[in-house]
Structure 1
Amino acid sequence: MIDMVGIGPFVVLPLVIHIIGGPHFLWAWILGAVISLIDALVWAELGAAYPQAGGSYNFLKIAYGEQRWGKMLSFLYVWQTMIQAPLVVASGAIGFAQYASYLLPLEGWERKAVSGGVVILITMLLYRKIESIGRISILLWVCVLATLGWIIWGGLTGGQQTVSFALPSGESLSGLFGAGLGIASVKTIYCYLGYYNVCHLGGEIRNPSRNIPLSMLISVVGIAVLYLSMNWSVVSVIPWQEAQHSEFIISAVIERLYGSQAGTIATFMVLIVAFSSLFAVLLGYSRVPYAAAADGQFFRIFAKLHPSRHFPYVSLLFLGGLGFGFSLLFRLSDVITAILAMRIVVQFIGQAVGLLLLHKRKQTSAFPFKMPLYPLPVLLAIAIWTFIFISTGWTFMLSGLTVILLGIIVFLITARIRKQWPFGAVDQPATPLGDPTES
């Protein structure tokens, strides 16, 4: 749940209202939760059956064959992580600068300086051996609960606007979908991402066949309740017509309820959440290219450890540097959409199809957790992710497919050089790409 909540819900809320353009925006958050729950069933079966560190990297290898297609798809997963991870970092940094503008009048290059400076600062803080981020995680979660709780309580006690969860009918229902429910759901799903991160720690989880599925169920349902309550509270204090234009809606709500000083305190709390979340995100993502390189499936340079502090500094500097560039170049709304466009095909659709392949090859007993109504949830997940991918728009669809195509080309070139599948023996031991000792 800590991984799921960062700056996302605080900056996405006005975007979703603006996209829907009406009082039914809450359904975009409900749809985001439903999609996350369906996809979590796919992760639950894979995580319970293969509780190993690495999550998608291992799931794709196992599902498609470790020496053939799985080798390429796991490479593509790391490849697209090299792009989408800096986008995640950039989204948090841009959101940080946006809320900082409540405290100081920041415009144009000043906001970019703040967002870029935050990425540089976090990279510098991580340029050391980090044994544990437990205390930072606790601080983050306390700030998240305090901030959300403050807003929800304020809406319950001080809200005067009428809010309805009723689903429109007839022409209004058609208008809701025509108004961009799919596009709005791209934004809300961004705020739910992270429910599957327990799978990345599968090798360290006690009783994984029970605790991995249960963890994701609790996380998605709990966060959905918090998000819906927060949205309801916000528009019960500030009308949706006004809320859709606010860049720092949380600060505005608290200010209207309790005064400007309280609004300043709320802003600081949001900034703490954003900064702490960015710290954890960059720390975690910097280990993905390193792990793949150490496994012989990615470029050798990313397997380098700092000579004295023993952390993957090349991976950290690369992702931090790209995140810095993205935070200066792109708008928040575009970054959020690009994050999903980069991940859907290989990771979410690829994994769901992979689970179908595993079920075809293996006995039912091989899956300790069995989703209800299999294979309906898997087919639904594939259809929904395809819908979401199309909803990102042609520009982002093409950018996501272009990244995949470039990754395939790089994979084939390196496989040709190393005389591995599909150009050589499938059982040849892997060596890190770029290893000068290889023939």
Structure 2
Amino acid sequence: MVGIGPFVVLSVVAEAMNGPWFLYAWLAGAVLSFTDGMIWSELGATFPEAGGSYNFLKEGFGPKWGKLMSFLFVWQTMIQAPLVIASAAIGFAQYFGYIMPLTTVESKLLSGGVVILIVLLLYRNIETIGKISVLLWCGVLVTMVWIISGGMLHGNFLAPVKHMNDGLQLNHAFAAALGFASVKTMYSYLGYYNVCHLGGEIKNPEKNIPRSMFISIGGIAVLYLLMNISVASVLPLEKITKSQFVVSEFIQEIAGPGAATLATVLILWVAFASVFSATLGYSRIPYAAAKDGAFFSIFAKLHPSKNFPYISLLFLGGIAFVFSLLFKIKEVINAILAMRILIQFIAQAIGLLLLSRKKGRSFFKWRMPLYPFPVLLAIVIWAGIFYSTGPYMMLSGVAVTVAGIIAYVIKQQINKRSTTGKM
């Protein structure tokens, strides 16, 4: 979950909120993550299979519409998953500029190189990957602890909390700013559900999938809030809103240039760990769909000796490499959410409602409290986030969905002709 996102968007969120109340955007992201995490927990614990949302949508919408919804999910995944991977790689290259200024070409080469290295590291079995993940997480923990302790020791740590309501007016302007800023904070929270994509490889999924998500969301929400409070306790808001390397400049303020360079290296470590985790999870989605006969069969192939979906990994990595050469990170954050909200988050929540009505609440291996309120709340908030991505991105999300529906119809016609021909 902790990638380049919080370090890149921290200043963007502060600028969008334009006041000490920018912490509310990070709280809003935590609330939505917890609420949506309940949906993922019910579905993930009940259907612990590789592919996550692909299976959830198929089960939730039933035999007829489930095929269409699961196809649309894989369709948009083939576009947005490489965007997610590329965005982190692009952010990595952007933040690297604090250590060594790069030309545009050099920055693109670096971001593309990150994607290639990630694919090479993931080209192995899940047991080895688990060991690599633990090593990467150690770097994440060290970085966050350093940032937070720096504010506690050198800043007026409680001041940002005491003054977060100064001048706050609950009006349309605040709501609009909160929506725009929450798009950025949600980008930083994304990843809490990755364990569901690996459901078939998780031991005791009924307990470990929900536990994994809620521990992750709770821990990361606390870390993000403390990190923002720490930075704001040392740097003035005006400097935060204008900085491209706000955390590096924060460390430079309290410990000098050498320490700031070291902190930047650790931030790059964090970004790398996040790309690693995201690519691992996404590579299982086309595999699950192909294995189920709903996507191109080539993606169902497993490595002959290491038993992982290598075709899926190589394809997504290749598309992510191309995207990393074409885009800037701020261009893809809104696009990522706009493409995912309709089919993955909102449709998945609706699917849970339909499945609960059909099967009953006792059908689920894990059940959320206060059902169906969390599901309805998640749908409303996701709709607000979708609106906040802006007209162009909303239209792009709808266009991708429509294109997917057309592709599905064509695929069905081809299948019918193929079946007729064999008969």
3-state SS of 2:233 partner: helix
Alignment RMSD: 2.5
Change (3 A) 1:350 1:230: same
Q: Given the alignment of the two structures, is residue 44 of structure 1 paired with residue 38 of structure 2, yes or no?
A: no
1:369 maps to 366
- Structure 1 Cα separation of the partners of residues 113 and 276 of structure 2: 13
3-state SS of 2:31 partner: helix
1:299 maps to 296
3-state SS of 1:148 partner: helix
Q: Tell me how far 1:7 sits from its aligned partner.
A: 1.6
Q: Mean alpha-carbon deviation: is it higher for 356-365 or for 79-88?
A: 356-365
- Structure 1 Cα separation of the partners of residues 308 and 407 of structure 2: 26
- Structure 1 Cα separation of the partners of residues 12 and 370 of structure 2: 35
Q: Deviations over 1:338-385 (max 9, x none)?
A: 111111111111111011111111223212433222211111111111
Q: Mean alpha-carbon deviation: is it higher for 22-31 or for 292-301?
A: 292-301
Change (3 A) 1:77 1:28: same
Q: Given the alignment of the two structures, is residue 269 of structure 1 paired with residue 266 of structure 2, yes or no?
A: yes
Q: Given the alignment of the two structures, is residue 196 of structure 1 paired with residue 171 of structure 2, yes or no?
A: no
Q: Given the alignment of the two structures, is residue 232 of structure 1 paired with residue 229 of structure 2, yes or no?
A: yes
1:324 maps to 321
- Structure 1 Cα separation of the partners of residues 313 and 422 of structure 2: 26
2:6 maps to 9
- Structure 1 Cα separation of the partners of residues 136 and 109 of structure 2: 24
Q: Given the alignment of the two structures, is residue 213 of structure 1 paired with residue 210 of structure 2, yes or no?
A: yes
Equivalent residue letter for 1:243: I
Given that 2:198 and 2:284 are in contact with CA atoms closer than 8 Å, whether structure 1 keeps it comes out as: no
- TM-score normalised by length of structure 1: 0.89
Q: Which of these residues, 142, 145, 149, is aligned with residue 149 of structure 1?
A: 145
**How many pairs were matched up?**
422
Given that 1:48 and 1:213 are in contact with CA atoms closer than 8 Å, whether structure 2 keeps it comes out as: yes
Alignment of 1:375-386 (within 5 A): 375-386=372-383
Equivalent residue letter for 1:394: P
Given that 1:293 and 1:302 are in contact with CA atoms closer than 8 Å, whether structure 2 keeps it comes out as: yes
Q: Given the alignment of the two structures, is residue 333 of structure 1 paired with residue 330 of structure 2, yes or no?
A: yes
Q: Mean alpha-carbon deviation: is it higher for 179-188 or for 116-125?
A: 116-125
Q: Mean alpha-carbon deviation: is it higher for 208-217 or for 141-150?
A: 208-217
1:187 maps to 184
Q: Which of these residues, 123, 128, 133, is aligned with residue 132 of structure 1?
A: 128
- Structure 2 Cα separation of the partners of residues 133 and 74 of structure 1: 27
Q: Mean alpha-carbon deviation: is it higher for 228-237 or for 98-107?
A: 98-107
- Structure 2 Cα separation of the partners of residues 127 and 210 of structure 1: 29
Equivalent residue letter for 1:275: F
Q: Tell me how far 1:235 sits from its aligned partner.
A: 1.0
Per residue, is there more helix in 1 or in 2? Answer: 2
Q: Tell me how far 1:19 sits from its aligned partner.
A: 1.4
5+ long unaligned stretches in structure 1: 426-436
- TM-score normalised by length of structure 2: 0.92
- Structure 1 Cα separation of the partners of residues 124 and 210 of structure 2: 34
Alignment of 1:60-99 (within 5 A): 60-65=57-62, 67-99=63-95
Q: Which of these residues, 388, 392, 396, is aligned with residue 393 of structure 2?
A: 396
Q: Mean alpha-carbon deviation: is it higher for 355-364 or for 380-389?
A: 355-364
1:251 maps to 248
Change (3 A) 1:379 1:89: same
Q: Mean alpha-carbon deviation: is it higher for 190-199 or for 22-31?
A: 190-199
Given that 2:87 and 2:332 are in contact with CA atoms closer than 8 Å, whether structure 1 keeps it comes out as: yes
5+ long unaligned stretches in structure 2: none
Q: Which of these residues, 409, 414, 432, is aligned with residue 411 of structure 2?
A: 414
- Structure 2 Cα separation of the partners of residues 202 and 112 of structure 1: 34
Given that 1:19 and 1:179 are in contact with CA atoms closer than 8 Å, whether structure 2 keeps it comes out as: no
